């Protein structure tokens, strides 16, 4: 007898790509993970949604915790980070946000990261480690760097 098993989808986290314009070029922030989860990998900001928190609230908190940045213009992107976890048999989905910061913005890393770089999109696409991150960055490039973002996406 065949029994169909569903693969649950969970949205328990968020992802954020920070962008700043330097001269006439846009750069995105990548962080090098220092904690046991994904140690040594380069990625953009990500984190969990805490109990009682919305995805937008988690985004503001994670940006502040991981980079010390509080002054940004935030947009939802209408795209998602996603992967399948075979250990728990679930699909993890996280909404991706974009935050624009000023050229003078300073980054103050917390202990979750050991390094950071502001990179041009082409450089960031090569440097990100997790499969799928390069597609998210190309999406951001198309809709948030090469175009002015739609006002209704502004958070």
pTM of the shown model: 0.93
Q: pLDDT tens across 99-142, in order? A: 999 999 999 999 999 999 999 999 999 999 888 999 999 999 99
Cα–Cα distance for residue pair 80/90, rounded to 1 Å: 15
76, 155 in Cβ contact below 8 A?
yes
The domains located in the chain, with CATH, are: 9-153 (3.90.79.10)
Question: How far apart are alpha carbons 14 and 66 in whole angstroms?
Answer: 13
């Amino acid at each position: 007898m065949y029994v169909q098993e569903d693969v649950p989808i969970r949205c328990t986290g968020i992802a954020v790509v920070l962008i700043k314009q330097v001269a006439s070029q846009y750069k995105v922030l990548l962080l090098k993970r220092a904690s046991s989860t994904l140690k040594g990998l380069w990625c953009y900001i990500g984190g969990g949604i805490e109990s009682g928190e919305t995805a937008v609230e988690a985004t503001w908190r994670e940006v502040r915790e991981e980079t010390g940045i509080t002054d940004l213009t935030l947009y939802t992107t209408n795209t998602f980070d996603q992967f399948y976890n075979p250990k728990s048999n679930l699909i993890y989905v996280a909404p991706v946000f974009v935050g624009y910061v000023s050229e003078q913005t300073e980054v103050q890393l917390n202990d979750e990261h050991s390094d950071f770089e502001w990179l041009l999109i082409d450089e960031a696409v090569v440097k990100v480690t997790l499969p799928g991150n390069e597609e998210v960055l190309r999406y951001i490039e198309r809709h948030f760097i090469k175009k002015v973002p739609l006002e209704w996406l502004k958070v």
